[in-house]
Amino acid sequence: MRHPVDQAGVIAFVFPGQGAQYAGMGRELAQLYPEAAETYARADRALGFPLSRMCWEGPDELLRQTENTQPAILATSCAALAVLGARSLAPGVAAGLSLGEYTALVAAGAMTLEEALPLVRSRGRFMQDAAAGRRTAMAAILGLSADRVRDVCRAASRRGVVEPSNFNGPGQVVIAGDEAAVQDGIVRAKAAGAKRAVLLPVSAPFHTSLMRPAAERLMPLLDALDLRDAAIPVVSNVTARPVRAPREIRDALAAQVDSPVRWDDSVRTMAALGATVFIEIGPGSSLSGLIRKTLPGAEVLRVEDRATLEQTMARLVPDGRYA
């Protein structure tokens, strides 16, 4: 395996979360690379239904259902990961945004694809159930500091629950909670000088205290899982610190459901661990933009189809930096 150990720095593998899905994702990889096709076949067997067809054909309405979205993105990211693995490229550190943390743990050998898929399908269902019957919302706040967004949420909380849920990058924070409180937060954020404050098309207030029932339902499933030590550091969303031992992995995954995602700090932690090259593996490119904003000097690559795979391998392999 090509491990990132020379003076050029460490390679970080990063994996997207919910929202990155689209009908057709992973289809080209499965058509061209046997290891990707086999990953999807394993996913179909593990879940007992053709998840691969949903990834490749949709329909979008079905793919957007949280209990389908989460395993679909994980399987697609793992298919791309398998293609990289077949080309002997390995990371020195890994992380994923929300759901993507599970893919990072698969990449690190802490759990298998077959273990992760039913777990995240249940996680998606639990998170959706936790918001059932309650009018909730999420909104992106752009151009305010994290502290100012916290102040906005405290002021808006007179209308209900509203909390920061994702610290994505400099000047980009997501808030979530009860719809009325989030709407009030949008008004207050604009008055405080936010460049933009807009509702997001999501179905539940992820990573807030309203998700606590989902975290409680997930804990027994995590406890029953035979986790292994991670072969590389996996940076936790909750603490922005690396985890490797099974107990700390379980605790981090349980806490992640109803705690804010500290993605910007997680990226900085990977840089502190030596990462200078980041490869976003799976559908979409949202993480690439966030990483560039957080670490302007980092090299950011992607793998989601043949074109991005070839670009990434051409950049890393011919000069021998990771050979």
DSSP β-ladder status, 136-142 and 196-199: antiparallel
A 10 A CB-CB count for 300 gives 18
To the query of whether residue 207 is one of the catalytic residues in this protein, the response is: yes
For tokens 């979205």, name the residue.
69
Q: Which of 98, 236, 259, 266 is catalytic?
A: 98
Q: Which of 52, 77, 165, 207 is catalytic?
A: 207
Residue 155 token pair: 């002021």
Residue 200 token pair: 């997001």
To the query of whether residue 203 is one of the catalytic residues in this protein, the response is: no
Alpha-carbon torsion (181, 121, 289, 321), positive or negative: positive
Contact of 300 with 291, CB cutoff 8 Å: yes
Pick from 80, 35, 34, 73: nearest CA to 55: 73
Per-position DSSP letters for 106-146, written without gaps between them:
HHTTSS-HHHHHHHHHHHHHHHHHHTTTS-EEEEEEESS-H
Pick from 304, 309, 303, 302: nearest CA to 288: 302
Query: Among all residues, which ones are annotated catalytic?
Result: 98, 207
